[in-house]
C-alpha cells in the first residue's frame, strides 16, 4: 500500500499572469449574463421595449420640456438599463454564486477575492457597454439627437452609476439569502423605475417623492444622463449624490459581505 | 523540503456564535501521503479544512500549508493548492467543460484538459450545463477543478459524497496517482471504507478535536486484536450474551442489530465454544468471521454508537 513517495517538484509553475486571470473572469461573467435568457430579457429586451413603447405610444402624454419624445426618453432608458445590469442582474447572479459556493471556490484559485471582484466589475461594464450600443442604436433609429457635448460626461455618469449600483448589488448578495435577493432585486428595480426618477425626472413625481428621488442613486443617475444628453451638462449635485452612494454602499459591501 | 509536512495544524480553535466547532485541533499531513480526516457530521472536519484553504481565519492556533499562512500568504499559496468544496462550488448555468477550462486558465501550466477529462470520464457530459449533472458527475467535475492546476497539496471535502461505485473507483484511482506524484492529499470523510482503503494516515476527529490518529493497521490494532463476529438466525438477548461470554471466556457484545462480537484472545477453542453454545441452545449460526477489528469498530468505539 505504501508506495515510496516521490518528492514534489521543487518549483511550481504558479499562477497565470494577473491580467489573464482577470480577463478570463470578465469573459466568464459576461458570457454567463449574455447567454442567460432571463438576464438578457431584463438587461436588454425590457429597456428596449420601454424605449420603443414610450416613444411610440403618443396617446400617453409626456411633459418633455420642449424636447422630442425620443430625446427626452433615451437618456433615462440608458440609466435604467445600467441599473438592470449592475444591480438586478448582478445581485441575483452573485447571490446564487455565493450560495452555491462558486465565490468561495474561485477565491481559492489563483484568481483570489480581488481578481473575482475585478472580473465582476469589468464584466458588468462590458455588459453595460453592450446595452449602451444596442439601446443607442435603437434610439438613433427612432430619431434620437443627443447633444454631442454631453456624450463623454454621460459615459462617465454611467460608469459612476454602475459603481453605485454594483456596490448595492454586492451588499445585498453578500448579506441575504439567494431567494430573498431574487425577489428584492426585481422589486427594487420596479420601484426605482417607476418612482425613482430614472425614466421620468424627479420633478414630475407626485408629492414628497420628487424630493426623495433627487437623493436616490436612480434619480441622480437619471438627472445626470438627461443633463448631459439634453443640455450638454451634468448637474454637479447628481455627481455628488452618486459618489456618496458609491462610497457608502461600497464601504457597506466591503464590511458586511459574507462569503459563507 | 522532503520529509517536512505539507500541512501543519497546531492547536486550531474556531468558534461560531460562542460555540467552539474546532477546539484545539492539531494534525499534520505529509507529501506523497493520503491523510483522511474522519469524523461524524458536525465534528469540525469542514471548518478545519476551510481554515487550511484560507476561507476562514482561525480564532487561535496556527495553520501552515507548505510553510505558508493560508490567509496572510494566500497569494503565494493559491497556485499550489487544489480545493474541492463539500458543496461543489460550481456555477450552475455554465457547461461542465467550460467550467473546467475556466479554472485551468488561472494557472500558468495547467494539466492537459483532454487527459484529465478522460481520466475522470467527463467527456460524456462536457457540453451539459452543471445544473443538469448528477451528483456523481458534479463531484468528478469538482475534483478535476481541484487538480487541474497541478497542486502540491489538495483538500478534498467529502469527495465521494453522492457518487456511484464507478465514479468512486475513478476518483480513488486519481487520488492514488496524486499520492504517487508526491502530492499531499487531505480528505475529509465519514465513509469508513474510503478511509480504510485510501488513507495512509487517519485522523479521527470528534467534537472539534483529534481523538485518535495513525495508520489504519495502527488504529485497528489492540492488545487482543482478533475477534469473532457472528450472526444468528434468531436474536440473542442480553442474558444470552452474558451466558455466552461466560462459557467462551471472552466479552460478547452486540455490534449492530443481529450481529454479535466476541472480543479478546480468540483461539481455535473460542470458535468451538461459540458454536457448541449455539448448538446447545438450538440457535442456527448464519455467519461467522474471525478477524481483526475494522476501522468502523474503532470509530464507533471512539465516537459512540448513539445517533446524533
Asked whether residue A201 is assigned to any structural domain, the reply reads yes
What are A131-157's pLDDT values in tens digits? 999 999 999 999 999 999 999 999 999
Which residue range(s) make up the domain with A171? 18-256
Asked whether residue A12 is assigned to any structural domain, the reply reads no
Predicted confidence at residue A83, as pLDDT, reads: 96
CA proximity to A250, closest of A169, A182, A185: A169
Asked whether residue A8 is assigned to any structural domain, the reply reads no
- Is residue B3 predicted with pLDDT exceeding 80? no
Q: Answer yes or no: are the C-beta atoms of B129 and B93 closer than 8 Å.
A: yes
| Helix extents (H) in A196-235 | 209-215, 217-231
Q: Which residues of A touch B184 (CB under 8 A)?
A: 8
What are B221-264's pLDDT values in tens digits? 754 567 788 899 888 998 999 999 888 888 888 877 888 988 77
**In the predicted model, what is the mean pLDDT of residues A27-32?**
93
What are B153-184's pLDDT values in tens digits? 999 999 988 788 888 888 999 999 999 999 99
Predicted confidence at residue B192, as pLDDT, reads: 83
Quick check: helix, strand or coil at residue B291? strand
pLDDT-based confidence at A31, cuts 50/70/90?
very high
Asked if the interface predicted TM-score (ipTM) of this complex is over 0.90, the answer is no
- Cβ contact (<8 Å) for A101 and B105? no
What are B29-63's pLDDT values in tens digits? 999 999 999 988 889 999 999 999 999 999 999 99
Q: Give the distance from residue A18's alpha carbon to the nearest chain B alpha carbon, in angstroms.
A: 8
Q: How many domains does chain A have?
A: 1
- B158 touches A at CB < 8 Å: no
Q: Which residues of B touch A12 (CB under 8 A)?
A: 79-80, 150, 152
- Cβ contact (<8 Å) for B106 and A35? no
pLDDT-based confidence at A2, cuts 50/70/90?
very low
Specify the higher pLDDT residue, B185 or B196. B185
Predicted confidence at residue A8, as pLDDT, reads: 47
- Is residue B1 predicted with pLDDT exceeding 50? no
Partners of B214 in the β-ladder: B202
Q: Give the distance from residue A105's alpha carbon to the nearest chain B alpha carbon, in angstroms.
A: 5
* CA dist., res. A196 & res. A109, Å (int): 40
Q: What is the pTM of this model?
A: 0.83
DSSP class of B108:
S
- Three cell numbers written together for B272: 468451538
Asked whether residue A212 is assigned to any structural domain, the reply reads yes
- Three cell numbers written together for A254: 466591503
**In the predicted model, what is the mean pLDDT of residues A197-219?**
91
Q: Give the distance from residue B42's alpha carbon to the nearest chain A alpha carbon, in angstroms.
A: 16
Asked whether residue A97 is assigned to any structural domain, the reply reads yes
Q: Give the distance from residue A149's alpha carbon to the nearest chain B alpha carbon, in angstroms.
A: 41
CB atoms within 10 A of CB B108: 15
- Three cell numbers written together for B215: 495508520
- Cβ contact (<8 Å) for B145 and A16? no
Asked whether residue A120 is assigned to any structural domain, the reply reads yes
Asked whether residue A124 is assigned to any structural domain, the reply reads yes
Predicted confidence at residue A11, as pLDDT, reads: 65
Amino acid at each position: 500500500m505504501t508506495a515510496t513517495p516521490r518528492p514534489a517538484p521543487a518549483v511550481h509553475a504558479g499562477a497565470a499572469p494577473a491580467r489573464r486571470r482577470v480577463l478570463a473572469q470578465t469573459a466568464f461573467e459576461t458570457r454567463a449574463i449574455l447567454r442567460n435568457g432571463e438576464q438578457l430579457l431584463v438587461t436588454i429586451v425590457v429597456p428596449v421595449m420601454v424605449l420603443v413603447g414610450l416613444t411610440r405610444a403618443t396617446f400617453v402624454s409626456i411633459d418633455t420640456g420642449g424636447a422630442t419624445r425620443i430625446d427626452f426618453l433615451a437618456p433615462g432608458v440608458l440609466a435604467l438599463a445600467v441599473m438592470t445590469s449592475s444591480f438586478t442582474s448582478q445581485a441575483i447572479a452573485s447571490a446564487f454564486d455565493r450560495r452555491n459556493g462558486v465565490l468561495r471556490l474561485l477565491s481559492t484559485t489563483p484568481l483570489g477575492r480581488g481578481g473575482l471582484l475585478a472580473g465582476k466589475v469589468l464584466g458588468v461594464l462590458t455588459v453595460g457597454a453592450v446595452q449602451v450600443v444596442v439601446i443607442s442604436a435603437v434610439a438613433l433609429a427612432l430619431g434620437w439627437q443627443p447633444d454631442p457635448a454631453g456624450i463623454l460626461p454621460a459615459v462617465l455618469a454611467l460608469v459612476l452609476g454602475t459603481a453605485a449600483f454594483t456596490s448595492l448589488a454586492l451588499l445585498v448578495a453578500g448579506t441575504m439569502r439567494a431567494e430573498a435577493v431574487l425577489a428584492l432585486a426585481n422589486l427594487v428595480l420596479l420601484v426605482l423605475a417607476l418612482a425613482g426618477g430614472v425614466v421620468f425626472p424627479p420633478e414630475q413625481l407626485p408629492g414628497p417623492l420628487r424630493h426623495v428621488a433627487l437623493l436616490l442613486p436612480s434619480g441622480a443617475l437619471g438627472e445626470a444622463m438627461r443633463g448631459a444628453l439634453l443640455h450638454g451638462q451634468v448637474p454637479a449635485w447628481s455627481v455628488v449624490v452618486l459618489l456618496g452612494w458609491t462610497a457608502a454602499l461600497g464601504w457597506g459591501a466591503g464590511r458586511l459581505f459574507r462569503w459563507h | 523540503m522532503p520529509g517536512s509536512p505539507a500541512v501543519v495544524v497546531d492547536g486550531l480553535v474556531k468558534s461560531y456564535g460562542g460555540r467552539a466547532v474546532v477546539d484545539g485541533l492539531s494534525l499534520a499531513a505529509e507529501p506523497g501521503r493520503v491523510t483522511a480526516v474522519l469524523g461524524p457530521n458536525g465534528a469540525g472536519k469542514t471548518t478545519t479544512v476551510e481554515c487550511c484553504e484560507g476561507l476562514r481565519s482561525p480564532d487561535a492556533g496556527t495553520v501552515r500549508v507548505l510553510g505558508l499562512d493560508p490567509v496572510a500568504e494566500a497569494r503565494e499559496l493559491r497556485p499550489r493548492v487544489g480545493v474541492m468544496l463539500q458543496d461543489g462550488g460550481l456555477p450552475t448555468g455554465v457547461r461542465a467543460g467550460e467550467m473546467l477550462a475556466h479554472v485551468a486558465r488561472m494557472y500558468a501550466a495547467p494539466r492537459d484538459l483532454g487527459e484529465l477529462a478522460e481520466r475522470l470520464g467527463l467527456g460524456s457530459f462536457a457540453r451539459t450545463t452543471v445544473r443538469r449533472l448528477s451528483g456523481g458527475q458534479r463531484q468528478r467535475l469538482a475534483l478535476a477543478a481541484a487538480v487541474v492546476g497541478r497542486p502540491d497539496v489538495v483538500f478534498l471535502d467529502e469527495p465521494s459524497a453522492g457518487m456511484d461505485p464507478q465514479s468512486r473507483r475513478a476518483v480513488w484511482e486519481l487520488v492514488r496517482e496524486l499520492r504517487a506524484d508526491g502530492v499531499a492529499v487531505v480528505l475529509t470523510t465519514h465513509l469508513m471504507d474510503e478511509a480504510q482503503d485510501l488513507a495512509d494516515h487517519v485522523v479521527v476527529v470528534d467534537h472539534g478535536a483529534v481523538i485518535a490518529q495513525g495508520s489504519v493497521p495502527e488504529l485497528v490494532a489492540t492488545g487482543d486484536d482478533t475477534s469473532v463476529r457472528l450472526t444468528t438466525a434468531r436474536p440473542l438477548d442480553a442474558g444470552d450474551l452474558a451466558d455466552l461470554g461466560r462459557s467462551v471466556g471472552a466479552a460478547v457484545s452486540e455490534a449492530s442489530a443481529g450481529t454479535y462480537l466476541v472480543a479478546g484472545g480468540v483461539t481455535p477453542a473460542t470458535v468451538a465454544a461459540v458454536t457448541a453454545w449455539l448448538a446447545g441452545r438450538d440457535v442456527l449460526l448464519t455467519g461467522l468471521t474471525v478477524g481483526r477489528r475494522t476501522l468502523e469498530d474503532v470509530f464507533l468505539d471512539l465516537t459512540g454508537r448513539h445517533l446524533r
